[in-house]
Amino acid sequence: MKLFRFGPPENERPGVMLASGAHLDVSAFGQDYDETFFATDGPARLAQWLEANAANCPNVPGSVRRASCVKRPSKIVCVGLNYAKHAAETGAPVPAEPILFFKSTTALCGPDDNVVIPKRSEKTDWEVELAIVIGKKATYVSQDEAFDYIAGYALHNDYSERAFQLERGGQWVKGKSADTFAPLGPFLVTKDEIPDPNKLHLWLRVNGELLQDSNTDDMIFNVPMLVSYISQFMTLLPGDVISTGTPSGVGMGLKPPRFLQPGDVVTLGIEGLGEQRQTAVAFS
Ligand code: ZN
């Protein structure tokens, strides 16, 4: 099943894309895609509800804004330097254990929203990533049982302001958390449709130029390892997002480095998880 959300910010509603390609408004189901939805077996209940009700659901026009595919979760946990070539391009050593950092949940936005270059930013950069959406409260989970705790997967662009991240002291969170720095979607694809998340092609273009082109099989720490690992340090709640790191080809790794300017267009995708398109605009 492919779950999406749509409508204007602050008034977003749930939808389902059927195998036929139809986009249904499932507001009548009565629940948005939030912690409660995932904690109560929402995807299975929604699938069952659709059997009786799909014919009465209105279609969502293609012109309507797509929102983040999950409602604001308790946290977005990100993994740093999880692809060896990306670690090399940043000049950092390959980590012995996953590097974790948080991204503000207020950074979430829709997959085709403009990316707003923050005030005083000169180094706004892109990062195509596979995101995991948690389906069940996870504390001290083993790698063997990790898939039981996953609801599905989504495409994420982990936008990063490199000066805020690396030159202003302290943690990376300052460079990761501006509004619109976390476009998530277009869909949450339930895990039954993605048999192997550790083998998915992912790519990103800026103004049509292919800059990131890799596969999740190049990740240093794979999907079940990351769910298990993170759950040793914190409880993951249903709906929480784990972003699994980006491959090489980010702007700071180019020679010379390249960062987004107003008017630049970023397109990206992951096999089976759809595509995104953002236009960079100045903060106003
Ligand atoms: Zn990242």
Ligand 1 centroid–CA 177 distance in Å is 11
Q: What is the pLDDT along the chain (284 residues), one digit of tens a residue?
A: 999 999 999 999 999 999 999 999 999 999 999 999 999 999 999 999 999 999 999 999 999 999 999 999 999 999 999 998 888 888 888 899 999 999 999 999 999 999 999 999 999 999 999 999 999 999 999 999 999 999 999 999 999 999 999 999 999 999 999 999 999 999 999 999 999 999 999 999 999 999 999 999 999 999 999 999 999 999 999 999 999 999 999 999 999 999 999 999 999 999 999 999 999 999 99
CB 207 within 8 A of CB 92: no
The DSSP output letter for 44 is: H
Can you give the pLDDT at residue 88?
85
Helix (H) or strand (E) holding 78: strand 76-80
Residues by chain with Cβ below 5 Å of ion ligand 1: 127, 158, 246
Q: 99 - beta bridge partners?
A: 80
Ligand 1 centroid–CA 160 distance in Å is 8
Residue spans of the domains in the chain: they are: 2-56, 68-282
Does this model's pTM top 0.95? My answer is yes
Ligand 1 centroid–CA 190 distance in Å is 22
Can you give the pLDDT at residue 127?
98
Ligand 1 centroid–CA 176 distance in Å is 8
Ligand 1 centroid–CA 159 distance in Å is 7
CA distance 237 to 112: 27
Q: Tell the burial category of 73 from Cβ atoms under 10 Å away from its Cβ (0-12, 13-18, 19+).
A: buried
Structure tokens at 239: 């709906």
CB 143 within 8 A of CB 262: no
Ligand 1 centroid–CA 213 distance in Å is 15
Ligand 1 centroid–CA 59 distance in Å is 34
CATH topology of domain 68-282: Fumarylacetoacetate hydrolase; domain 2 (3.90.850)
Ligand 1 centroid–CA 126 distance in Å is 8
CB 212 within 8 A of CB 203: yes
Ligand 1 centroid–CA 41 distance in Å is 29
Distance of CA 219 to the CA centre of its chain: 16
Can you give the pLDDT at residue 115?
98
Place of tokens 């619109």: 180
The DSSP output letter for 197 is: T
Ligand 1 centroid–CA 244 distance in Å is 7
